[in-house]
Amino acid sequence: MLDLQNVSFGYSREQTTLNDVSLSVRPGTSVGLVGESGSGKTTLLRLMLGLIRPTSGVIRFGEESLDTGNSAFMQRYRRAVQPVFQDPYSSLDPRQRVIDIIGEPLRSLRIPGDRTQTVAEALEAVGLPLDAMRRYPHEFSGGQRQRIAIARAIVARPQIVLADEAVSALDLSTRIRIVELFKTLSEKLTLVFVSHDLGVVAALCEEMIILERGKVVESGKTRDILAAPKHPYTQRLLASIPRMPA
Amino acid sequence: MTALLNIQGLCIRAGDKPLVSDLSFSIRPGERIGMIGESGSGKSMTAMAATGLLPVSIGVSGSIELDSQQVVGATDRVLNRLRGAAAAVVFQEPLTALDPLMKIGRQIAEPVRRRLELESGKASKDAISREVRDLIDKVALPQPERIINSYPHEVSGGQRQRVAIAMALACRPKLLIADEPTTALDVTTQAEILKLLDQLVRETGMALLFISHDLPVVAQVVERVIVLKNGVAVEEGPVKTVFGNPQHDYTKTLVEAARLFDEALGATGS
């Protein structure tokens, strides 16, 4: 569905942030992109969103290649691929009501239909009450704001949701509920979930890709990697995670 | 044994809003205690209050005895003698805790000089630089020469936190307060810093107040935990008891959530 072939990217000529990354996201599978700071996971997500272009290599969406200059393609692509960002305090416009925030993709992608009805369905899907529509972001808690951001991502019924550290800013008790929400959503769409938190990815994603300094070091079924990590970096990552006492 | 830190009936409020309500606990010399809570639970406020670091606009009542000195209402003179010697703090974000315009060697040297002057009235340049070297060794910073001459932005996040720990150690405190010291760090770096803290606390015999929202992290370094929710201590006890058999509903929620992510990871790891 989404294929990256030998993709490299550098913000400057001297420095490559991503080095020869190949991966594919299959329809209906939830994939976790795991790495520490500087591993290139956010850059990878920005490439997949079409916010930046690869320095070399190709990104394919179905039969087409992702071409940020092709506005007709990008219009379709935006409808098919929607993001959720880390910080729900900065990703929601504080001056807009929730109905306008969630309804924004419908407007910009020129999706016809009853806006209020569609927004209401999105709110319901993320477990927020309908009266949230008339309110502003500051009236909501961090977890609720992230629900609003997720509602905005799914309102246009995309095929893929790309989430960047979407639960990292949340408290543990809130985080677990938002992870559950993503899990429910991932039954109906393809989820690419970028996170430094292996525990969250383990709980949420069927497959995972481990990045270290711009390179894919290991990828496969989450279950298999957790049971027998092959690459030394994956092994070190797993061994570093503090565990609950027995 | 008398407590090193004895907090009784502590209330902290901002205007009419209570931040911490009727909190009581104590730490004996050498004891390692964890304070767990989510955002807004008052854990950092408590740590700041213990060293008299809260701004005057924040109302504090109750009793905080640090090394047998009353902190609540104490003058700066009294507090300055306590800070460092009785308790030193390592904060979450080493980038903001360190002075960006001062080379690391000089930053570590400051608390060293201050302590030597308090102890013996004078501090020779040689004695200071010898001790700075010792501290850099202790926190296992590589290439001491380079680190001493670097500015904070020139070293990694984990190295910066090691510098902050070295500065706290320079005071030879009886109590080390660590406020989310690994939260801003990558998981592999976190593992190294936790190991270092654990080893240093054991070697020096100082007491530890470890503040964190992360249950498994806390479990690695402390013996006893206090669970805070909205400024109220809802549960307290040995780590094994509280995490193994939580009594309060809130603790149960936290432990269940932590276990869920833990179990998802399977049987690997430490």
Cα–Cα distance, B64 to B70 (Å, whole number)? 6
Each residue of A191-233: pLDDT tens digit?
Answer: 999 999 999 999 999 999 999 999 999 999 999 999 999 999 9
Q: CB–CB of B214 and A242 under 8 A?
A: yes
Q: Are B104 and B146 in contact (CB under 8 A)?
A: no
To the nearest whole Å, the CA of A123 is away from the closest chain B CA by 25
Q: What is the pLDDT of residue B93?
A: 83
Least confident of A88-92, A124-128, A235-239, B175-179: A88-92
CA end-to-end span of chain A: 41
Tokens representing B19? 């931040």
d(CA A228, CA A220): 11
Alpha helices in B205-248 (DSSP H): 215-221, 239-244
C-alpha B27, offset from chain centre: 13
pLDDT for the residue A86: 87
Contact B178, B210 (CB under 8 A): yes
Q: Which residues pair with B209 in a beta bridge?
A: B33, B177
Q: Report the b/e string of B172-183 with b at 16+ CB within 10 A.
A: ebbbbbbbbbbe
Record the tokens describing residue A110, joined without a space: 């020129």
Burial group, residue A127, by CB count within 10 angstroms (0-12, 13-18, 19+): middle
* % pLDDT > 90, chain B: 82
CB contact under 8 A, A36 and B186: yes
Q: Residues in chain B with pLDDT < 50?
A: 268-270
For residue B34, what is the enclosing H or E element?
Answer: strand B32-36
Residue with tokens 């150690």: B169
* C-beta atoms of A172 and B213 within 8 A: yes
For residue B69, the cross-strand partners are B66
Cα A119 to Cα A61, A102, A153: the distances in Å are 27, 6, 11
**Span A2-90+158-240: which CATH code?**
3.40.50.300
- As beta bridge partners, residue B83 has B87
Q: Are B268 and A239 inside 8 Å of each other by CB?
A: yes
Q: Which residues pair with A183 in a beta bridge?
A: none
Pick A170 or A230 by higher pLDDT. Answer: A230
**pTM for this one?**
0.86
B270 part of a folded domain: no
> Strand B17-27's sheet: what is its strand order?
B17-27, B5-14, B58-66, B69-70
The tally of domains found in chain B comes to 1
Please tell me the distance from the alpha carbon of residue B117 to that of residue B123, in angstroms, as a whole number. Answer: 6
Residue % of chain A over a pLDDT of 90? 87
pLDDT of residue B123: 85
What is the dihedral sign for C-alpha A159, A160, A166, A171? Answer: positive
Structural contact between residues A65 and A59, judged by C-beta atoms closer than 8 angstroms: yes
Domain holding B198, by residue range, is 5-264
Best residue of A165, A211, A240 to probe chain B, by most B CBs closer than 10 Å: A240
pLDDT at B184: 83
Distance from CA of B224 to the nearest CA of A (A): 13
Q: Determine contact: B193 vs chain A, CB below 8 A.
A: no
Chain segment A50-69, per-residue pLDDT in tens: 999 999 999 999 999 999 99
A229 lies within 8 A of chain B by CB: yes
Q: Do B191 and A240 lie within an 8 Å CB cutoff?
A: yes
Inter-residue contact B161 to B181 (CB < 8 Å): yes
In the three-class reduction of DSSP (H, G, I as helix; E, B as strand; rest coil), residue A19 is classed as strand
In sequence order, the 6+-apart residues with CB closer than 8 A to the CB of B222 are B32, B33, B34, B208, B210, B239
Separation CA A215–CA A19 (nearest Å):
6
Query: Which CATH number does the domain housing residue B236 bear?
Result: 3.40.50.300
Rounded to whole angstroms, the Cα distance separating B23 from A233 reads 43
